[in-house]
């Protein structure tokens, strides 16, 4: 009878994968992950059938962690601006606190290894945010910008903001606020 899988080993493998992929890119060998996780390489493949499965599971895990960070305390009954400000602050705070996850997530989003199922699972927690954007356009609060362009603009602005927050910790809150104000002015109807 096969031994049950250990959640601690699975967690160690995912944590090691995050660190290795952040440092060396997605082409890093699984042997490096196994060494850092303190498990035999065969053990890694007991938990994940292959590297592609590992990448997909890691993507879904990071996206769920990010969704949890962004949606905790979400001000559902407030204005679009307040809701977006909450999302912005949570995302940029999470990104500065988790630079490895942020870097790996950026790499994974550009990867051909993600399955349609993983992409769907990764975007599912954010469907409400996308709907909010559509509603804000209908309410004439936001400019009529294609959703993909709006998301990409927010991502680029947030990445710049996070870089400044990380480089200047004493002024992190100032850069977080400045980044949001610039983003808001770019997308809102004046």
DSSP 57-126: HHHHHHHHHHHHHHHTT--TTS-HHHHHHHHHHHHHHHHHH-HHHHHHHHHHHH-S---HHHHHHHHGGG
pLDDT value, residue 4 = 66
Containing structural domain, residue 44:
1-48
**What is the residue-averaged pLDDT of the chain?**
94
pLDDT value, residue 158 = 98
pTM, entire model? 0.90
Kindly state whether residues 142 and 175 are assigned to the same domain: yes
Kindly state whether residues 100 and 138 are assigned to the same domain: yes
Q: Which two tokens stand for residue 47?
A: 């938990």
Instruction: Give the residue, 132 or 21, on which the prediction is more confident.
Output: 21
Kindly state whether residues 31 and 74 are assigned to the same domain: no
Kindly state whether residues 77 and 158 are assigned to the same domain: yes
Q: What is the pLDDT of residues 54-82, one digit of tens each?
A: 999 999 999 999 999 999 999 989 999 99
Number of domains in the chain: 2
* Mean of pLDDT values over 37-58: 96
Q: What b-and-e string marks burial along 43-60, b requiring 16 or more CB atoms within 10 Å of the CB? A: bbebbbeebeebbbbbbb
In a domain, 121, yes or no: yes
CB 140 within 8 Å of CB 134: no
Cα atoms in the 13 Å half-sphere on the side-chain side of 91: 23
Kindly state whether residues 31 and 115 are assigned to the same domain: no
Residue 172's pLDDT band (cuts 50, 70, 90):
very high
Kindly state whether residues 84 and 128 are assigned to the same domain: yes
Q: What is the pLDDT of residues 79-119, one digit of tens each?
A: 999 999 999 999 999 999 999 999 999 999 999 999 999 99
CB 99 within 8 Å of CB 166: yes
Kindly state whether residues 151 and 87 are assigned to the same domain: yes
Q: Which two tokens stand for residue 164?
A: 């400044």
Instruction: Give the residue, 135 or 166, on which the prediction is more confident.
Output: 166
| pLDDT at 46 > cutoff 80 | yes
């Amino acid at each position: 009878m096969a031994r049950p899988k250990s959640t601690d080993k699975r967690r160690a493998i995912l944590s090691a994968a995050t660190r290795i992929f952040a440092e060396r890119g997605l082409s890093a060998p699984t042997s490096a992950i196994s060494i850092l996780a303190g498990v035999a390489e065969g053990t890694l493949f007991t938990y994940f059938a292959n590297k592609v499965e590992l990448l997909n599971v890691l993507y879904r895990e990071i996206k769920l962690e990010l969704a949890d960070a962004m949606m905790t305390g979400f001000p559902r009954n407030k204005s679009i601006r307040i809701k977006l400000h909450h999302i912005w602050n949570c995302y940029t705070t999470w990104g500065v606190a988790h630079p490895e996850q942020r870097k790996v997530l950026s790499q994974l989003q550009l990867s051909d290894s993600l399955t349609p199922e993983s992409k769907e699972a990764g975007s599912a927690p954010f469907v409400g945010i996308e709907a909010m954007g559509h509603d804000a356009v209908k309410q004439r609060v936001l400019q009529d910008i294609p959703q993909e362009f709006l998301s990409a603009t927010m991502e680029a602005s947030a990445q710049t903001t996070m870089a400044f927050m990380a480089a200047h910790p004493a002024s992190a809150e100032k850069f977080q606020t400045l980044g949001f104000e610039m983003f808001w002015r770019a997308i809102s109807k004046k």
